[in-house]
Structure 1
């Protein structure tokens, strides 16, 4: 049976021959009713507080769960960002190494082209010098022949050996080439 302050106050007792003092029982029941009412009010307040506390606990648990989810998400994002940065760095390094290798290869090719061009120019110079020397010697021979013919035409008797030495000393093909170059 559930007791309430009202049921306690209105409780009727059966009478017997030697019964209880009605006033005393009534006073006792009123005190008991007041105490039960006080306990029920206190219990009601405590239950209300418990509900409020449970509501707060649930709210804090939701906040904690959200924080944990956010923290995990942040950790995953951080891990992905670090991994992405590593991959990007590795890719940049690889691209830089490849570009550097290409630049070095191009520089080597240019150096080889320049070396080949220099060698070709040296060969052309040698060939040109040889041609010029041959031309100078040919011209020298022509001048010598022309000189001899003129001398013969004029009937001059000249020592051709000494005249040739004079002419050779005046016409030196190597000196002419040096002056030209």
Structure 2
């Protein structure tokens, strides 16, 4: 068990002939008691400081551990968000490609339909031109026939008769 200031204070030494000076020994013991008490107080203060520093160290160790876990969780969340964004981007791209293919196919179908309609109109125009040409040629042929001259003569005779009959 360690020595206390009270133990030093209560210590009695036996007396002998030609012993030490009692006052000097008591002064020295008083000085030892003061120094010993100061050392004990300092030791207590240092122990308290050690405990406080140990608590701070534990706090910072816990804080460091919490931060490390938080960083790991944040990194995992960031990775998850990144992966989800990649997947979503791929889905958007696939959907856009499908829409583009659909639009292209619709445009090609419309283009083919219009091309067929244009061809059909060209055929109908050609048929119309042929029929019109045939009709015009037939009319020209009628006009160029001698029977027109005969009709003109009959028509002129009728006019002459009508005029003569009215007078």
Normalised by the size of structure 2, how large is the TM-score?
0.74
Query: How many residues align structurally?
Result: 153
Tell me what 1:42 maps to: 42
Unmatched tracts of structure 1, length 5 or more: 155-181
Q: Give the alignment of 1:106-117 within 5 angstroms.
A: 106-117=106-117
Tell me what 1:91 maps to: 91
Partners of 1:105 and 1:91 lie apart in 2 by 21
> Once the 2 structures are TM-superposed, how far is the Cα of residue 152 of structure 1 from its aligned partner?
9.7
> Once the 2 structures are TM-superposed, how far is the Cα of residue 118 of structure 1 from its aligned partner?
0.7
Normalised by the size of structure 1, how large is the TM-score?
0.69
Q: Give the alignment of 1:76-155 within 5 angstroms.
A: 76-143=76-143, 144=145, 146-147=147-148, 150=151
Unmatched tracts of structure 2, length 5 or more: 156-167
SS at match of 2:106: helix
Identify the structure with bigger relative contact order (alpha carbons < 8 Å, sequence gap 6+). 1
> Once the 2 structures are TM-superposed, how far is the Cα of residue 49 of structure 1 from its aligned partner?
1.0
**CA RMSD after TM alignment:** 2.9
Q: How big is each residue's C-alpha offset from its partner over 1:33-68, in whole Å with a ceiling of 9 and x where there is no partner?
A: 223212211101110110121121112112212221
> Once the 2 structures are TM-superposed, how far is the Cα of residue 16 of structure 1 from its aligned partner?
6.7
Tell me what 2:163 maps to: none
